[in-house]
Structure 1
Amino acid sequence: MVMVAGKLFHVQIVKHEWLKVRAEENWDREIPFGAIRGEINDRNGELIVGNQLAPTLYYMPSQNNEPEKVAATLAGILQTDADKLLKKLSEKAYMVKIAPEGKNISKEQADEIAKLQIEGLYTGVDFIRNYPNGELLSRLIGFTGYDGQGLAGIEYAYDEILQGTGDKIRLYTDARAIPLPHVDDGFQTGDNGATVELTIDVEMQKIMERELLQAMEKYDSTQAVGIIMNPKTGEILALASMPSFHPADYQDVDPSIYNRNLPVWMTFEPGSTFKIVTLAAGLEEKLIDLHDEHFHDPGYAMVANARLRCWKRSGHGHQSFLEVVENSCNPGFIEIGQRLGSEKLDQYIRDFGFGESTGSGIAGEAKGILFSKEAFGPVEQATTAFGQGISVTPIQQVQAVAAAINGGFLYRPYIVKEIKNDKGETLQSFEPEMKRRVISEETSAQVREALESVVANGSGRNAFNDGLRVGGKTGTAQKVVDGGYSDGDYIVSFIGFAPADDPELLVYVAVDSPKNSVQFGGVIAAPIVGRIIEEIAPLAGVEKRVDQLEKEYRWGDPITHRVPDLTGMTKGMVARQLHTYRIQWHGEGDVIKYQMPAPDSLMNVDDIIHVYTEE
């Protein structure tokens, strides 16, 4: 009796908690609450991807003897087949997850089912991804699958960080799933996923995607690409691929759309935007002088018995090397490439980051294709100098041009700014990473000067923006199909930056296979970049100034003039000025308080100056 009493004491008192835990492990049945996946935000904390409550139904067959009735009732609410549902409810399992019919149902459906108080039917909390901006950024952020796991884009690349463990309700039952009266149900708390904060600016992204969508519709193009970067840091402020899709409906689109993030995946001959690299190399090696050295372009260059033509068949004639850049003259850049020599040119190209991944961390990034040293003969050297015969990605071009204009520093492009826990505490932050210096500040200043002149006086004039000092370069590349050039099929592009003397914004746009227009980057892509820069400049704190290179007037351009300052004048004083401008008065007062357009801005001769005489 003493031994029995001792054993009982040991079991019931000493080992009580240990045995209870072991018993509960045999008794418990868990109803999971879906894990709260971390959010994806932009650089300013604006929500890009969040979560939306979506309940899921669970059923314990042993707790209900009328599965037919349950199936018939639920079928009407879930709008599904009752026989198919009955088969699922009749499974020999202690708990059945009613999926997909009862997974991620609406709150209204869940409320209606809860009112019925069906025995053995439980509602687990689950979540689906919520996209407040619809299709915005879809080819970058990707999507999650049926089980909430990241399958593409940022969702895939940062899946382990975004995933949470989820809460659970613990029900305690016997072997027949009958609830145990002497054990209280429990609740197990999980962990929420971490938030990924991108370098993206949502407002800039909206502007970029709107412009690309309009361009595709206007020119009936197959696809379009856009990137906005801070050239001083490598931060990507916008990254767009068109056509787009809604992440919640990814199964309804062709996989080639959601599997290809064009700014990092798409490779093509860059065309004339690549001439910036050749220009920077020639200036760094002091092989050309922009102002005091001249070059004659007859319309072609002979290289190893091959006639390489300029885009202007008649040639540009006698021109300075600054005009070579303004005119995007192919023979002039062939000359720069020949002065550099094959080894120097190849080295600069690789130093600027071509031929290797940029290390952006964006899934699916390609490396591009360069000529091997063995295959880099005189003709290949010449065509490479003006951007033909090699294959590069848009993000490689943006990285290289950023280095050419920011003082010569090659920064790694990056897309994630910070990772934070659900309390807002920073777990990891990402800073600008400089890879190497490729050219000097003196050379970079000359490149900026030349590219601003391209926009004011050359092939990029359609990107001119009064007061913002835009620099840039056009690109028109014939597409390669099955190893040969496709006749009449081009990718047109423009890469621009502002302000030209101290760049804060770098914008790249490429339109694939445009129609309904002359297929030149200066005609199609340059105006798009000009409009984007004008709209995003205030978002980046870039203000308009008066110290800019004036746009050269050419026949056919609209006649413009600077707006006079009329503020503070009376109607009589304005009349005595004998202005020929069209003026529209607003207000009952006599003294002008405000005017639009602002003083010293450009306006067409037929435009109206609106003056306001009252606040």
Structure 2
Amino acid sequence: MKVSQVTVRKRLYVMLILAVVAFIALVIRLGYVQLWIGGEIAKKAEDSWRRDIPFQAKRGEILDRNGTRLAYNVSSPTILAIPVQIKDKRGTARTLSQHLGMSEEQLFKLVSKREKNVELKPGGRKLTTAKAREIRELKLPGIVVSEDNKRYYPFGSLAAHVLGFTGAYNQGLTGLELQYDERLTGLKGSVSYLSDAAGNFIPNTSDTYQPPKDGLSLQLTIDQKVQSIVERELDQAMLQHQADSVIAIAMNPNTGEIYAMASRPTYQPDKYREVPVEVYNRNLPIWMTYEPGSTFKIITLAAAVQEGKVNLEHEHFYDRGSVEVGGARLRCWKKGGHGSQTFQEVVENSCNPGFVALGQRLGKEKLFSYINDFGFGKKTGIDLKGEENGILFKLNRVGPVELATTAFGQGVSVTPIQQITAVSAAINGGKLFKPYVSKSWIHPETRTVLEETKPQLVRQVISPETSKIVREALEKVVAQGTGRNAFLDGYRVGGKTGTAQKVVNGRYSPNEHIVSFIGFAPADKPELIVYVAVDNPQGIQFGGLVVAPIVRAIMADALPSLGVAPRTKQVEKEYRYGDTPIVTVPNLVGKTVSDIYEDMNMNFQLASTGSGKTVIRQAPAAGARVERGSVIRIYLGSEE
């Protein structure tokens, strides 16, 4: 078929128009690429050529209240491989296997990966400085020593449950390390350079260094010396009593600052894999719940005094050894009872029937109102993960028996942190404070304080006048009652014992108890409060016999360490059969050893240091009051 000339022209016009349109589209596209997205494409190209060598930021230090480092980082380089730069992969793997404790095959697989950078783990991670230097000196192509660091805990297991620990990449896994991981971690840095497809450095290009930004340092309310004292005593308690666990908290009752928090069993943060998960994953002082026993009587006492339901010194109560309530017989710990006694003696003797009477005078609405106001049944809000609520009876389920048992600390469930926080309010003037362990955040370079935690008052629970009466009553418990083993001459200690049966398989066990003691000093103006609970000690199971001596030992060292001055007046201890008398240390300075042995009675033991003949110093100092039989250490030298 013959095509006309007109048709040919039309087809040419159409093709021309299409060619022009295509050319215009191409110009537009080139312009768009060049002017609009050229930078983005160039960046993508550059990114494909870029190699990064990472530099970890230093994780922020964790300090005690006085600036002592409890956790910090030490240099711990990591070995990286850049596979495209390694020509002899087999030889490189063979050489490195002799230095990194890894097999040749392991390393060969790593250096053969089609990735920009490969960590030679596990053997090439967290090396010593000497080992890193050793690898550098090999000068292996494609093998780079990258600066890294690892967490170091200089005091081992000290405050382990509070501090927590970090993982392989310095990420927080438990405790404060997890709680404040983001602020402690900081930001990574790196060195970047451009390379060709073979991984070779492209000439006439520059490196880019992005310095790491170190994490902030966290200062705690924890006092390293007090923490050490507490943990020393917990170790001794576990050894002596073969308990299932031991818990302790030391706190400033006037602010809520935690001086020490510990439990046993414990672990070392850098060896956490060596213990069961429940050991490192449960901070018992804030996690464990149990019936508190007689330490809870402080709350009933404070409520009864505040409501004017009792006069401790002038009102009497007769204890027959038990009391019947709602068809249940509730017994006193002393068989046959205490007979006629003032309510102050009810407190000193920790008499259950006497506290049942106080609970009945208050009534369930009023007693449980105070229990709630003192913070039980809900979290204190301490800045640590894992806190439990505790358990209280619902008010509509509180009958005569529940009211009676709650009044002396049975049937309710509390945590140690709730208990010490509530008792602090009872003895500090009536103020309930929120407990806390994080004191301030500090800049890692300038060391300036960026943020500081202030004491947080939750509420006023009782009046200062009531609090004073409670303090005085509890001081007499230590001087004249069940807490005599916590008596510390010169420091006016107040406190309360606790012995509670454990619930095992839904029933109260006759053989397993949690025994406790909460003590504070000085009783006229408390500056330290200590709570210790021992779970299922073997043998004797009474708070006054097992735990009161532990609290006394903690306070004896912690109070001077905190700068708390002794008092000149206190309630004198009432000595009973088996108690060790308190005697005054004589002045031995200036005397010869022969003179001392001629004059010395049987009140003390001597331990000498030095080679002279004359005493130039002694400890304890003259005038100190100690238990009879205590050791006096004398330091011998010349008279000059």
| TM-score under structure 2 length normalisation | 0.88
Encode CA deviations 1:112-163: one digit per residue, 9 max, x unaligned. Answer: 1111100011111111101111111111111111222111110011011101
Which residue of structure 2 aligns with residue 604 of structure 1? 628
C-alpha deviation, 1:175, in angstroms:
2.5
Confirm or deny: 8 A CA contact 1:355 1:392 kept in the other structure: yes
5 Å-filtered alignment, 1:148-547, equals 148-422=170-444, 423-515=446-538, 517-547=539-569
C-alpha deviation, 1:17, in angstroms:
10
Which residue of structure 2 aligns with residue 111 of structure 1? 133
In structure 2, what is the Cα distance between the partners aligned to 1:166 and 1:272? 53
In structure 1, what is the Cα distance between the partners aligned to 2:243 and 2:613? 51
User: One-letter code of the match for 1:191?
Assistant: K
Question: Secondary structure of 2:311's partner?
Answer: coil
How many residues align? The count is 600
In structure 1, what is the Cα distance between the partners aligned to 2:297 and 2:52? 64
Gaps of 5+ in 2: 1-32
C-alpha deviation, 1:84, in angstroms:
1.7
C-alpha deviation, 1:94, in angstroms:
2.7
In structure 1, what is the Cα distance between the partners aligned to 2:437 and 2:619? 41
Task: Tell me which moved more, 325-334 or 142-151.
Answer: 142-151
Encode CA deviations 1:168-227: one digit per residue, 9 max, x unaligned. Answer: 111210133221122132311121000111100001001101100110111111111110
C-alpha deviation, 1:497, in angstroms:
0.5
C-alpha deviation, 1:479, in angstroms:
0.7
In structure 2, what is the Cα distance between the partners aligned to 1:194 and 1:602? 46
Which residue of structure 2 aligns with residue 3 of structure 1? none
Q: Percent same amino acid at aligned positions?
A: 49
In structure 1, what is the Cα distance between the partners aligned to 2:629 and 2:103? 70
Question: Secondary structure of 1:273's partner?
Answer: helix
In structure 1, what is the Cα distance between the partners aligned to 2:548 and 2:389? 26
Question: Secondary structure of 1:319's partner?
Answer: strand
In structure 2, what is the Cα distance between the partners aligned to 1:108 and 1:578? 59
Encode CA deviations 1:372-427: one digit per residue, 9 max, x unaligned. Answer: 01211110010000000010000000000000000000000011000112121222
Confirm or deny: 8 A CA contact 1:567 1:595 kept in the other structure: no
Encode CA deviations 1:337-387: one digit per residue, 9 max, x unaligned. Answer: 000000000000000000111011110000100000121111001000000
Q: What is the root-mean-square deviation of aligned Cα atoms in Å?
A: 2.9
Q: 1:137 aligns with which of 159, 172, 176?
A: 159
In structure 1, what is the Cα distance between the partners aligned to 2:39 and 2:474? 77
Task: Tell me which moved more, 413-422 or 84-93.
Answer: 84-93
C-alpha deviation, 1:247, in angstroms:
0.9
Which residue of structure 1 aligns with residue 9 of structure 2? none
Encode CA deviations 1:533-563: one digit per residue, 9 max, x unaligned. Answer: 0001112111222201111111222344445
Question: Secondary structure of 1:380's partner?
Answer: helix
User: One-letter code of the match for 1:151?
Assistant: L
Question: Secondary structure of 1:143's partner?
Answer: coil
Task: Tell me which moved more, 448-457 or 478-487.
Answer: 478-487
Q: Aligned in 2, Cα 1:436/1:596: closer, same or farther, shift over 3 Å? A: closer
C-alpha deviation, 1:564, in angstroms:
6.1
Confirm or deny: 8 A CA contact 2:585 2:620 kept in the other structure: no
In the alignment, does 2:140 pair up with 1:123? no
C-alpha deviation, 1:487, in angstroms:
2.5
User: One-letter code of the match for 2:422?
Assistant: A
Confirm or deny: 8 A CA contact 1:164 1:192 kept in the other structure: yes
User: One-letter code of the match for 1:158?
Assistant: Y
5 Å-filtered alignment, 1:556-595, equals 556-563=578-585
Question: Secondary structure of 2:547's partner?
Answer: helix
Question: Secondary structure of 2:299's partner?
Answer: helix
Task: Tell me which moved more, 323-332 or 140-149.
Answer: 140-149
User: One-letter code of the match for 2:395?
Assistant: K
Confirm or deny: 8 A CA contact 2:300 2:407 kept in the other structure: yes
Which residue of structure 1 aligns with residue 18 of structure 2? none
Q: Aligned in 2, Cα 1:118/1:314: closer, same or farther, shift over 3 Å? A: same
Question: Secondary structure of 1:144's partner?
Answer: coil
Confirm or deny: 8 A CA contact 1:561 1:605 kept in the other structure: no
Confirm or deny: 8 A CA contact 1:563 1:603 kept in the other structure: no
Confirm or deny: 8 A CA contact 2:605 2:629 kept in the other structure: no
C-alpha deviation, 1:569, in angstroms:
11
Encode CA deviations 1:449-474: one digit per residue, 9 max, x unaligned. Answer: 11110110111000111101111000
Which residue of structure 1 aligns with residue 15 of structure 2? none
In structure 1, what is the Cα distance between the partners aligned to 2:181 and 2:632? 56
Which residue of structure 1 aligns with residue 20 of structure 2? none
Confirm or deny: 8 A CA contact 1:250 1:258 kept in the other structure: yes
User: One-letter code of the match for 1:598?
Assistant: A
Confirm or deny: 8 A CA contact 2:56 2:188 kept in the other structure: yes
Confirm or deny: 8 A CA contact 1:478 1:491 kept in the other structure: yes
In the alignment, does 2:121 pair up with 1:99? yes
C-alpha deviation, 1:596, in angstroms:
5.3
User: One-letter code of the match for 2:312?
Assistant: L
Which residue of structure 1 aligns with residue 14 of structure 2? none
Question: Secondary structure of 1:417's partner?
Answer: strand
Q: Aligned in 2, Cα 1:588/1:251: closer, same or farther, shift over 3 Å? A: closer
Question: Secondary structure of 2:237's partner?
Answer: helix
C-alpha deviation, 1:166, in angstroms:
2.1
Q: Aligned in 2, Cα 1:505/1:79: closer, same or farther, shift over 3 Å? A: same
User: One-letter code of the match for 1:457?
Assistant: Q
User: One-letter code of the match for 2:124?
Assistant: G
Q: Aligned in 2, Cα 1:234/1:581: closer, same or farther, shift over 3 Å? A: closer
User: One-letter code of the match for 2:454?
Assistant: E
Q: Aligned in 2, Cα 1:346/1:181: closer, same or farther, shift over 3 Å? A: same
Q: Aligned in 2, Cα 1:521/1:74: closer, same or farther, shift over 3 Å? A: same
In structure 2, what is the Cα distance between the partners aligned to 1:54 and 1:583? 51
Q: Aligned in 2, Cα 1:87/1:396: closer, same or farther, shift over 3 Å? A: same
User: One-letter code of the match for 1:453?
Assistant: K
Confirm or deny: 8 A CA contact 2:517 2:548 kept in the other structure: yes
Q: Which structure: larger Rg?
A: 2
Confirm or deny: 8 A CA contact 1:560 1:605 kept in the other structure: no
Encode CA deviations 1:519-540: one digit per residue, 9 max, x unaligned. Answer: 0010111000001000011121
In structure 2, what is the Cα distance between the partners aligned to 1:117 and 1:28? 22
Gaps of 5+ in 1: 1-10
In structure 2, what is the Cα distance between the partners aligned to 1:21 and 1:417? 45
Which residue of structure 2 aligns with residue 6 of structure 1? none
Confirm or deny: 8 A CA contact 2:483 2:548 kept in the other structure: yes
Confirm or deny: 8 A CA contact 1:498 1:505 kept in the other structure: yes
